[in-house]
Amino acid sequence: MSFTGKVFILSSATFIIYVGIQIYKYFQPPPLPLYDENEYWGPGNQPSKQDTSIKPFMINVSDEVLNDLKYRLENDRPYTPPLEGIQQQYGFNTNLLKEIIKFWKNDYNWRERETFLNQFPQFITNIQGLDIHYLHIKPKVSSDTIIFPLLLLHGWPTSVREFYSIIPLLTKEDNERNFVFEVVVPSLPGFGFSQPPSKRGLSPSKMAVIFKNLMKRIGHSQFYVQGEDWGGVIATSIATLFPKSILGLHSSMCMPSGPKALIKLFISSLFPSFFVDKRSKHKMFPLLEKFSLLLEEFGYYLLQATKPDTVGIGLGQSPSGMAAYILEKFSTGTNVSFREREDAGLKETFSYITLLDNLMIYWISNSLTTSMRIYSEAYSTHARSWEVSR
C-alpha cells in the first residue's frame, strides 16, 4: 500500500475512534456538580455562629392583615367582562372570579381554616441562612411497626396544603402493612412560611442541598422522598446528588431530558409502538398537538423564568388578581378541557375552601413573587452549570 494510502487509513481510523469516543461520552451521565453543604442564602454576610435550634411554629395571622385583605377584596374595580361565548380560553373568566371572591368574602372563615392548617405540628429551623418552615408528623405506633422517614415536597402554585389529606393515611397504622411513615413536609424557600433567599441562584438542585440538610437536622441521614411539580425536580436532585441518603424516590413529575430520551422521543414520534404502549400513546402523541398545547398554556412559565418580579408586583397587591392567576393553573392543570367550562371545572377535584387555603398561604406570607423566582433560578445561566436534569 502506498504511503498516502496508509496515512489515509490511519487518519480515517483515528477519526472514527475519535467520533466513537465523543458519542460514547455524550451518552454518559455528566459528572455530578460540586456542592457546598454550607452555601449561605440569607441576607448580608454569613454570621459566624449558626443557629441550629428547632422552634415550634403556628400560623397566626393578625387582624390587621385580615382587615387589609377584606378591604382589598371589597374595593376591587369592576372586572372586565369576558367576551361573549368565552369561558376560560382567554384566561380566567371574571364572572367565575366574581363568584369566588364573593365566597372568599362571605363564606370562607379564616380563623376556622387557621385551626385546620395548624392541626399538624409545625416547626421552623434555620438552614444555610434561611428559616425553613415544615410540618413534622411522628406516628405513634406499636413496637413492631417499622417507621420510615418520608420527605414530601410541593411545587408551584401549591404549598404544604396539598398534602393535608394524605398525611393521616401515611402516618396511621394499617393492618395491610407493618410500616408507617414519619412525614416531613417543608415549604420550599420563598414559598409560604419559608424565608426566601436573599442571594440569586437558589435553583431546585440547590434546594436539594437545603432539604438534605433539613432532614439531617431533624435526625434522618436516610429517608424516602416524594416530589410533586418542582418538588419532583428537587426530589430527583436529592436522589442524584446524595444517593446514599435516599431509600426511595417517588416523583409525580419525571422529566428525562438527556440525549437518549430525545432520540427515543424522535423515533417514537414516527413509530409510537417502539417505546410507548398503546394505552399511553394519546398522552404523548401527536407531538405537534402536545407542543402547541405547551405554547398555549406555558406563557406563565416563560414569564416567571424571565421577569418574575414584574408580574409579582400587581399580583401581590390584588388578592383577586392573585386568585385568578393561581386558580387558572388549578383548572387547566387538572384538565385542559376545563377551558371550555364556565366553572373551570374547579369543583370537580377541589372545593373553593381547599383552593382558598392554598391561596391564603401565598397571600398572608406575601410570597408569590419569591415563589415564582424558582423558574428563573432553574434556568438562569447562574444556575444552569449546576442543574441536575438527568
Ligand X SMILES: *[C@@H]1O[C@H](CO)[C@@H](O)[C@H](O)[C@H]1NC(C)=O
**Closer CB to ligand X, 36 or 64, in the complex:** 64
Q: Which H, E and C letters describe 209-256, residue by residue?
A: HHHHHHHHHHCCCCEEEEECCHHHHHHHHHHHHCHHHEEEEEECCCCC
Give yes or no for residue 254 binding ligand X (CB under 6 A): no
**Closer CB to ligand X, 58 or 254, in the complex:** 58
**Closer CB to ligand X, 249 or 336, in the complex:** 336
Give yes or no for residue 279 binding ligand X (CB under 6 A): no
In whole angstroms, what is the distance from residue 261 CA to residue 327 CA? 32
Contact 185, 152 (CB under 8 A): yes
CB of 56 to ligand X, least distance (A): 10
In whole angstroms, what is the distance from residue 7 CA to residue 314 CA? 69
| Beta-bridge mates of residue 126 | 131
Out of 14, 292, 317, 335, the only residue in the binding site for ligand X (CB under 6 A) is 335
CB of 175 to ligand X, least distance (A): 32
Give yes or no for residue 165 binding ligand X (CB under 6 A): no
**Closer CB to ligand X, 175 or 337, in the complex:** 337
Contact 189, 195 (CB under 8 A): yes
CB of 367 to ligand X, least distance (A): 20
Amino acid residing at 77: R
Q: In what order do the strands lie in the sheet with 130-137?
A: 54-57, 122-127, 130-137, 179-186, 146-153, 223-227, 246-251
Out of 60, 142, 175, 273, the only residue in the binding site for ligand X (CB under 6 A) is 60
CB of 116 to ligand X, least distance (A): 13
CB of 341 to ligand X, least distance (A): 8
Phi–psi pair at 226, nearest 5 degrees: -130, 135
Give yes or no for residue 119 binding ligand X (CB under 6 A): no
Number of residues written out for the chain: 390
Out of 48, 337, 381, 385, the only residue in the binding site for ligand X (CB under 6 A) is 337
Give yes or no for residue 46 binding ligand X (CB under 6 A): no
Give yes or no for residue 65 binding ligand X (CB under 6 A): no
Size of the site for ligand X (CB under 6 A): 4
Count the neighbouring beta carbons within 10 Å of the beta carbon of residue 74.
9
Give yes or no for residue 58 binding ligand X (CB under 6 A): yes
Binding mask 197-236 for ligand X (x = CB under 6 A): ----------------------------------------
In whole angstroms, what is the distance from residue 150 CA to residue 185 CA? 9
Interface ranges with ligand X (CB under 6 A): 58, 60, 335, 337
